[in-house]
Amino acid sequence: MLAADFLHLQESVDIVNRWADIFHLDIMDGTFVPNISFGFPVVEAIAKVAEKPMDVHLMIVHPEKYIERFAKAGASMISFHAEAALSEGSDPGEILDLIRRNGCKAGLVINPDIPVETLFPYLEKADYVLIMSVFAGFGGQKFIEATYERVRAVKAEIQRLGTQCLIEVDGGVGAANADALAQAGVDLFVAGSAVFKAENPETVIRAIRGEA
Ligand code: ZN
């Protein structure tokens, strides 16, 4: 939703309600990432009209402080950055548990410069992992090609463990790379600019699904 038209938010919400599967909401605090996006008033407004689950991606320091509030605001899925938790001395596993106790699916995120092995100890606790395919903090960036190899490495470990953990990618995702990402093992595709800046968002979403 970061790429949505905030003066006409209902139109962007309608696009997701009609053609997509989840709302992906990027929450930035100006500290973990340099940028600031939007907060509870916007999340709650979208929740009132969302007909699809809301996936809240926390790009914030001390994510554990805000889990309950985002769950109450209507999130069904909440993810946070492993590197944020680890640098603060928090245990990502405990935050994943906290998210689940609040009734949400729990996700762990890493930026492109964090080794994928960072995720491995948590693959049995996480419902999904989000492998950033651009650096967290800004919309509209170019997809990083090394993402394919990173997805394959995480997928191999998930299969080795025999867990149900899903893989999500976020950043620079569109019709041009969705098929190759799916083959690498991606389950959930976050597309912002590719959809909302398109002439025909439905066509783009269908293409990402592999229907076109
Ligand atoms: Zn995101």
- Sequence ranges of the domains in the chain: 6-209
pTM of this structure: 0.96
- Backbone φ, ψ for residue 29 (5° rounding): -110, 0
- Residues around the ion ligand 1 (C-beta < 5 A): 26, 57, 170
> Are residues 73 and 67 in contact, defined by beta-carbon separation less than 8 angstroms?
no
Percent share of the chain, pLDDT over 90: 96
For residue 140, the model assigns a pLDDT of 79
Spot the catalytic one: 55, 127, 170, 179. Answer: 170
What average pLDDT score do residues 88-114 get?
Answer: 98
CATH code of the domain occupying 6-209: 3.20.20.70
Residues 6+ apart with CB under 8 A from 130: 57, 79, 107, 108, 109, 110, 168, 169, 170, 190
Q: CA–CA separation, 212 vs 190, rounded Å?
A: 18
For residue 139, the model assigns a pLDDT of 76
For residue 24, the model assigns a pLDDT of 98
Please give the distance, rounded to the nearest whole angstrom, from the Cα atom of residue 25 to the centre of ligand 1: 6
Please give the distance, rounded to the nearest whole angstrom, from the Cα atom of residue 58 to the centre of ligand 1: 8
Please give the distance, rounded to the nearest whole angstrom, from the Cα atom of residue 193 to the centre of ligand 1: 12
Cross-strand partners of 55: 24, 77
SS3 category, 140 = coil
In order, the DSSP letters of 31-64 are: SSSS-B---HHHHHHHHHH--S-EEEEEESSSGG
pLDDT, tens digit, 9 for 90 and up, residues 54-78 = 999 999 999 999 999 999 999 999 9
> Are residues 63 and 98 in contact, defined by beta-carbon separation less than 8 angstroms?
no
User: Which comes out higher in pLDDT, residue 207 or 212?
Assistant: 207
pLDDT, tens digit, 9 for 90 and up, residues 9-54 = 999 999 999 999 999 999 999 999 999 999 999 999 999 999 999 9
Please give the distance, rounded to the nearest whole angstrom, from the Cα atom of residue 168 to the centre of ligand 1: 10
For residue 138, the model assigns a pLDDT of 78
Please give the distance, rounded to the nearest whole angstrom, from the Cα atom of residue 137 to the centre of ligand 1: 9
* CB burial readout 154-165, b (16+ within 10 A) else e: bbebbeeeeeeb
Spot the catalytic one: 5, 21, 26, 29. Answer: 26
Q: How confident is the model at residue 212 (pLDDT cuts 50, 70, 90)?
A: low
Residue 5 annotated to the active site: no
> Are residues 182 and 209 in contact, defined by beta-carbon separation less than 8 angstroms?
no
pLDDT, tens digit, 9 for 90 and up, residues 154-207 = 999 999 999 999 999 999 999 999 999 999 999 999 999 999 999 999 999 999
pLDDT, tens digit, 9 for 90 and up, residues 102-140 = 999 999 999 999 999 999 999 999 999 999 999 998 777
Q: CA–CA separation, 180 vs 152, rounded Å?
A: 11
Residue 141 pLDDT > 90: no
Please give the distance, rounded to the nearest whole angstrom, from the Cα atom of residue 26 to the centre of ligand 1: 5
Residue 170 annotated to the active site: yes
